[in-house]
Structure 1
Amino acid sequence: MRETTSLLPASARDEWPYEARFANVNGWRMHYVDEGEGDPIVLLHGNPTWGFLYRDVIGPLVASGRRVIVPDMVGFGLSEKPTREQAHTLDGHTANLTSLMRQLDLKKIALVCHDWGGPTGLSFAMSNPERIRALTVMSTWAWPMPPAEFHTRIFPWRMMHAPLVGPYLLGNHKALAGRGVYLSVVDREKFAATAQAAYEDVLPDPASRLLTWVWPRWIPLDREARAYGRFEWLERTLSQSKLPTMIIWGREDEVFDAATFSSRFKQMMPHAEGPHMVTGRHFLQEDSGAEIANLIRAFLDRLDAEERAQ
């Protein structure tokens, strides 16, 4: 049965005309869109967003002759939302993405990673390099603690790790799903009028917002943290990668500031193109979606030309 925008909250229907597709990944129902033809571009979101974040990116890339796949991480968007914290390990989310990529048998993937799409997507890429053609990293990280000065602050970040305060603020009061995204865009008036409800409406109650406070707890704050070894491996492996890579950053990003974080990726991967700075705080796609699409298209066009010249 063809499932379309009838599944969407009314707040997203005008901006999201894509057919809803679903796959079973490790026992969970994962939603994704799959548009166009050609070599695949996979667009990965983070916390607390979903594929809607890329609504201004998808169309231009499809029009350029590419196939565009946008998954909703399990726990977000139109994907199933497990209500057990144990379902949301970092390796578990990487395994979910890996399952979808293998089921679709995607090869020559141009992987675009943002926020938590970085650790999950880059872990997939480093474990499956034969499926990857190119990487784009945007406002993310790939190394152990702490990823940013922001994450060392007692308020608000370390309080989110507290047993009661984190679930209360992020679950009951949707601090990330509501005001958190709003505060992390440049044009807040436009965002509030056209997009904010689309993020809130797919996470309508505290149970559905579980991942918004579980995922932050996987950010290592000391060497004993459960994800420290995973990020240590990711940093080491990514530093050895020679995959074609592009760096795009929001110049106003206050979570992963451009000067520090885009530079660190450049140091890790000196062959990477960029960093390209665009208007945007942490959720830069909201302010510069069309520009990001053009940067990705031009990057891949250059790779095409280089391959034809060989």
Structure 2
Amino acid sequence: MQYLRTPDQRFEGLKDYTFNPHYLQVSDTEDGELRVHYLDEGPRDADPVLLLHGEPSWSYLYRKMIPPLVAAGHRVIAPDLVGFGRSDKPTRREDYTYQRHVDWMQSVLDQLQLQHITLFCQDWGGLIGLRLVAENPARFARVVAGNTMLPTGDHDLGQAFLDWRDFSQRVDTFPVSTIIDGATTTALSAETLHAYDAPFPDETYKEGARQFPMLVPATVDDPACAQNRAAWEVLKQWQKPFLTSFSDSDPVTAGAETVMQKLIPGCEGQPHITIENGGHFLQEDQGEVLADVINRFIADNPR
């Protein structure tokens, strides 16, 4: 598999992103390997909080949340999905599949030997993360879902998603930082916009970002439907604590939290919260608030 690797100097001096990089090698499923970047902060012997980002962001999205989570005593793991951040970026659109993304993150869990995990997932972080939960239920202690879903192709994904998918395929230059800026309630600074563009020196680095919207199961014959339906069968039996923490201003995933609350037993009795003044990227708008929600959730639901 051919891939690109963003030069390290692109990540130098990014605002509020002073974390040390860590790397793992994962199989590209074609007898080669890809390098996956992840952050690993806090005490190594503490239970991990796994933060999974989505499209088209990277672990920079979690820079406001990591310090308060670490201050509460947690180990925090924040990978960059393949195709994003400091992780390698395969150069062909067809190299990116839903199953490969799940497999690549499964390899991260396995290599780091993570157990007793608290997952926070947003956007594609949920499409991947909830699959991981269903396929490794013993490894996860709790889940917090924010602005995400696990679609099976059986339901209409809504006009907002369809418009986004159409835009992602027809725009000549995929405007990563502009997309993120447009999906927040706060105006992002020039330094922040620069950080979101940092992983992508030019359009050749963006094949993963381009492909992600096309991988969301939108029809019943999508190749990921069977696996996602199987994941839902596990989640419908999930008794461990499960919290929804969606924002109040996300047209793409609005309403998905009520589906989770209805179908996942672990949601019962939890103080599900709506994060005020948050867009789709609620970590950017209300990161400190969200970190406090996660800290309280863990404290209130000890294993």
What is the TM-score normalised by the length of structure 2? Answer: 0.88
3-state DSSP class of the match of 1:196?
A: helix
The residue that corresponds to 1:276 in the other structure is 273
Q: Which deviates the most, 209-218 or 289-298? A: 209-218
Q: Note the 1:68-147 alignment, pairs <5 A.
A: 68-145=76-153, 146=155
Cα gap change, 1:31 to 1:248, in 2 (>3 Å): same
Contact (CA 8 Å) 1:11, 1:195: kept in 2 or not? no
Give the paired residue count.
286
Output the CA distance in 1 between the equivalents of 2:161 and 2:203: 26
Corresponding residue to 2:196 among 194, 199, 209 = 199
Give the alignment of 1:19-38 within 5 angstroms.
Answer: 19-26=20-27, 27-37=33-43, 38=46
Q: Secondary structure at the match of 1:15?
A: coil
CA distance in structure 1 between the partners assigned to 2:70 and 2:184 by the alignment: 25
Between the aligned partners of 1:12 and 1:86, the Cα distance in structure 2 is: 33
Alpha-carbon distance in structure 1 between the residues aligned to 2:202 and 2:250: 28
Distance 2:197 2:104 in 1: 23
Moved more, 199-208 or 100-109: 199-208
Asked if the contact 2:238–2:265 (Cα under 8 Å) also holds between the matched residues in 1, the reply is no
Kindly indicate whether the alpha-carbon contact (under 8 Å) linking 2:91 and 2:204 is maintained by their aligned counterparts in 1.
Answer: yes
Q: State whether residues 118 and 141 of structure 2, in contact with CA within 8 Å, keep that contact through their aligned partners in structure 1.
A: yes
1:148 aligns with 157
- The residue type equivalent to 1:204 in the other structure is P
Q: Unaligned stretches of 5+ in structure 1?
A: 1-5, 161-165
* AA matched with 1:88: Y
Q: Which residue of 1 is the match for residue 19 of structure 2?
A: 18
Letter in 1 for 2:186: D
Q: 1:57 to 1:107 in 2, by over 3 A?
A: same
3-state DSSP class of the match of 1:14? coil
Contact 1:107 1:131 in 2 (8 A): yes
2:61 alignment partner in structure 1? 53
Identify which range, 106-115 or 137-146, moves more after superposition: 137-146
CA distance in 2, matches of 1:244, 1:194: 37
Amino acid at match of 1:184: A
What's the offset of the Cα at 1:182?
1.0
Partner SS for 1:68: strand
Structure-2 residue corresponding to 1:296 = 294
Query: Does the alignment pair 1:213 with 2:210?
Result: yes
Distance 2:208 2:101 in 1: 11
Structure 1 residues 183 and 147, CA gap change in structure 2 (3 angstroms): farther
Can you list the C-alpha shifts for 1:126-148, whole angstroms capped at 9, x where unaligned? Answer: 11112111111110101323563
- Output the TM-score relative to the length of structure 1: 0.87
Match of 2:238 in 1: 241
Separation in structure 1 between the aligned mates of residue 77 and residue 22 of structure 2, nearest angstrom:
10
Deviation (angstroms), 1:68: 0.4
- 1:2-26 per-residue CA deviation (whole Å, 9 max, x = no partner) reads xxxx935368623111111100011
| 1:248, distance to aligned residue in structure 2 (A) | 0.6
Q: Decide which moves more: 11-20 or 79-88.
A: 11-20
* Offset of residue 202 of structure 1: 1.1
Q: 1:123: how far off?
A: 0.9
Question: Counterpart in 2 of 1:266?
Answer: 261
Q: Which amino acid aligns with 1:143?
A: P
Distance of 1:192 and 1:174 partners within structure 2: 19
1:232 partner letter: R
- Structure 2 CA distance for partners of 1:35 and 1:217, relative to 1, 3 Å: same
- Residue 65 (structure 1) aligned with residue 63 (structure 2): no
Check 1:48–1:119 CA distance in 2 against 1; reply closer, same or farther (3 A cut): same
